[in-house]
Structure 1
Amino acid sequence: MTTQQQRTQQQSPRRAAIAAFVRFVVCGGGVGLASSGALVLLDGRMPLVVANALITVVSTLLATELHGRISFRSDRGGWGVHLQSALTVAVSYAFTTGALLALHAVQSAPSALTEQTVYLTSSALAGLGRFAVLRAVVYADRRTPAPAAAAPVAKPAPAAKPVLRKVIAGNTAVAIAA
């Protein structure tokens, strides 16, 4: 295998990961922005922690479906995937809620812009962690990898045949190996 072929094989998984991450950001970002708008709409109608919990559950169901089908292009599905994804969301929920509660502890009445900035930033950080776990665990390729192709074995060069030279010494010809 040439060095160029090795580089191409190494870049393919990297490119696939980058493409999956871009799809993850588009799907998750869209759901996240919709969640952010829903949080604004629910503000004042119910406690912030309850609103965040409700939004987290609904957006998780939607995002899990989108990530499975679009982001990771996986044929895995069902409640098992939703439960695994829910574990990552539980951590995300704790993280975003903690960030919002910390903001309210520092500022008793933050502006909507400040609250949204904290919410979206903490959601983005939680999303990075979710991507890593979803890609490596939940939607990981479960197929047994094909054995790596063995490098071709070089055949040993054939032994050099001795070159015979005819040396004439007097009237007698003698063959000697050179």
Structure 2
Amino acid sequence: MTSPSPLASFARFVVCGGGVGLASGATVPLLAHSMPWAVANALITVASTLLCTELHALFTFGTGSRPGLRRHLQSAGSAAVAYAVTSAAILLLHLVEPSPTLLWEQTVYLTAAALAGIGRFLVLRLFVFTGDATAPVKSAPSRPAPIRFSLTPKNAATLA
């Protein structure tokens, strides 16, 4: 399966990641009413990262297969950076304005998420879902090949 062009991948990334990001952006403030904002962001980041990694492997970067543990972990690393960026942006907002409106929180969160998303796209495209990483891994045979002996007149004489 050939991978889509960078422009097609980016469009797919925006649709998949952006759609999940918008849903996350709406969910984080709702959860933040019952827990600290950073905890709500962490929970939503984990859930959205798992979903997005699946979508990106199958649709965005066209690998043709579900991502394995290695790709999930690599994607989680880039999501951890995105989490830090969005959390820092909201914490900075709260330092500047102790009681921001929901509109300001959403604006800051979504702007930070968009900037982090561009960075994630580059990391995923260039390092995680590269063409060579999608090649099937050859597995070792399940059992060794049997050793075969043939008896010829020459080696039969040495056995006698």
Give TM-score scaled by structure 2 length. 0.78
Instruction: Give the helix-richer structure, 1 or 2.
Output: 2
Unaligned runs of 5+ in 2: 134-160
Q: Which has the higher contact order (CA 8 A, sep 6+)?
A: 2
**Tell me, what secondary structure is at the counterpart of 1:74?**
coil
Deviation per CA, 1:138-175: give whole Å up to 9, x if none: 001107xxxxxxxxxxxxxxxxxxxxxxxxxxxxxxxx
Distance 1:34 1:74 in 2: 25
1:78 to partner: Cα distance: 1.1
Instruction: Give the strand-richer structure, 1 or 2.
Output: 1
Amino acid at match of 1:45: S
Query: For residue 77 of structure 2, what is the aligned residue in structure 1?
Result: 87
Confirm whether residue 66 of structure 1 aligns to residue 50 of structure 2: no
Amino acid at match of 2:25: S
**Tell me, what secondary structure is at the counterpart of 2:132?**
coil
**1:38 corresponds to which of 23, 27, 33:** 27
Distance 1:112 1:137 in 2: 36
Superposition pairs for residues 153-164 of structure 1, below 5 Å?
Answer: none
Aligned length: 130
Unaligned runs of 5+ in 1: 1-12, 144-178
Query: For residue 127 of structure 2, what is the aligned residue in structure 1?
Result: 137
Which has the larger Rg? 1
Deviates more, 1:67-76 or 1:114-123: 67-76
Give TM-score scaled by structure 1 length. 0.70
Structure 1 vs Structure 2 CA RMSD: 1.5
Distance 2:79 2:22 in 1: 16
1:40 to partner: Cα distance: 2.4
**2:109 corresponds to which of 111, 114, 119:** 119
Distance 1:120 1:131 in 2: 16
Percent identical residues: 55
